[in-house]
Amino acid sequence: MASIPANDLSACVNQVLEALQHQYPDADLPSADWVLGARARELGIRPKGQQSANGSCRLLACSDGWLAVNLARGSDWELLGAWLAADGKVTDWAGLTAALAHRSGPALLSRGREMGLPLAFVQRPASAGAEAQPQMQFHDVFQGDSKYLQCSSLQGAKVVDLSALWAGPLCAHLLHACGALVTKVSSSQRPDGAAQGSPMLYQRLHAGHQHRVLDFSEPNQLTVLAEMLREADVVIEASRPRGLQGLGLDRETLAVVKPQIWLSLTAHGRNAPNGQWVGFGDDVAVTADLLHWTDEDRPEFIGDAIADPLSGTFAALAVAQAVSQGRSGLLDLSMAAMAGQYRRKVLESGAALVCPLRVPSRAD
């Protein structure tokens, strides 16, 4: 993928899908247009300059650059007063815009990330070759002959999907299209918000999958899940490392002895301190400078939570290639690094980054 020119994000996704199709000629794979635009079409949304497509993330000016603030959860608004050390509550975007105008972006970024806010900071367009971290790391954890997978194809492979929202479920959807048997596992306390937020996309992504809803506060149900994870050929999880560690369901605590691929799909990677940072598709894209910059050097969003579909598509290809090679281990994929790779690929082709969405807005 990396060496083939592509002049826009749709072409990048097409290349990934074509590589997956080459491995699995009979797979019924979606188009790049569907991958990047299905949710936007369902909801009738698109980015509006410095406002993300779904409206939860804004690019706000601060004294030394631009801060992407993604208030995707109701609880995020409750943290703003403490984050800004303000006397009163900040209850709307206008108040937040005014509060940030004369403050330092990096200082706010550091403090906010420690509090669990999904944030990103940019100053000016970076060069085409700029890249903060590798796109993918594969950590082999088995010794001797036992480290090799017993299967060399996704046909009939058992996949347990612990992820939610978009990137992880998209990866699982593509693996299922290639013949994998996917079981989605949801927490009864924290159901997948995408089921209500974009129900059509949710149904499409999970069509044909088995679905288990478990109570993660019940030890017996955690025991059931632990056994499912040990028996899987592929595990997909998209939580920060401490999330599964707290439940005793991380790869190390489970002491998995069966060769398998464990895909860890995170916002900023697993290593400290990045592994504790919260991130969603829009702010993660800003971290990678996957943005359109105007002639006045103002950053603007492109796509709908663009780091999600880009990462989910590439993750599926990475898993498929690892399976074909018989590899086993932890596949560490950072959405921020992946978004940076796509950005660099387009810019190195000599093209400009443009929004891949071609959908009307309900406001039009």
Q: All domains of the chain, ordered by start, with CATH?
A: 9-46+131-272+304-348 (3.40.50.10540)
Percentage of the chain modeled with pLDDT above 70 = 90
Taking alpha carbons only, the member of 335, 298, 21, 301 closest to residue 154 is 21
Confidence category of residue 5, pLDDT binned at 50, 70, 90: confident
Least confident range of 60-74, 181-195, 295-309, 347-361? 347-361
What pLDDT is recorded for position 58? 98
pLDDT in tens, 91-134: 999 999 999 999 999 999 999 999 999 999 999 776 555 544 44
């990677």: which residue's tokens? 269
Confidence category of residue 6, pLDDT binned at 50, 70, 90: confident
Q: Is residue 302 a contact partner of residue 354, using CB atoms and an 8 Å limit?
A: yes
What pLDDT is recorded for position 124? 79
Confidence category of residue 150, pLDDT binned at 50, 70, 90: low
What pLDDT is recorded for position 136? 58
Burial degree of 275 (CB within 10 A; 0-12, 13-18, 19+): middle
What is the per-residue DSSP string for 2-66? TTS--SSHHHHHHHHHHHHHHH-TT--PPPHHHHHHHHHHHHT---BTTB-TTSSEEEEEETTEE
Confidence category of residue 40, pLDDT binned at 50, 70, 90: very high
pLDDT in tens, 310-353: 999 999 999 999 999 888 899 999 999 999 999 999 999 999 99
What is the distance between the alpha carbons of residues 133 and 332, in angstroms, rounded to a whole number? Answer: 12
What pLDDT is recorded for position 221? 96
What pLDDT is recorded for position 89? 85
Cα within 13 Å of Cα(17), Cβ side: 22
What pLDDT is recorded for position 139? 65
Mean pLDDT of the chain: 90
β-partners of residue 182 are 159
Confidence category of residue 86, pLDDT binned at 50, 70, 90: confident
What is the distance between the alpha carbons of residues 73 and 44, in angstroms, rounded to a whole number? Answer: 21
Cα within 13 Å of Cα(93), Cβ side: 15
Taking alpha carbons only, the member of 230, 292, 247 closest to residue 46 is 292
What pLDDT is recorded for position 252? 86
Least confident range of 104-113, 141-150, 304-313? 141-150
Confidence category of residue 364, pLDDT binned at 50, 70, 90: very low
What pLDDT is recorded for position 145? 39
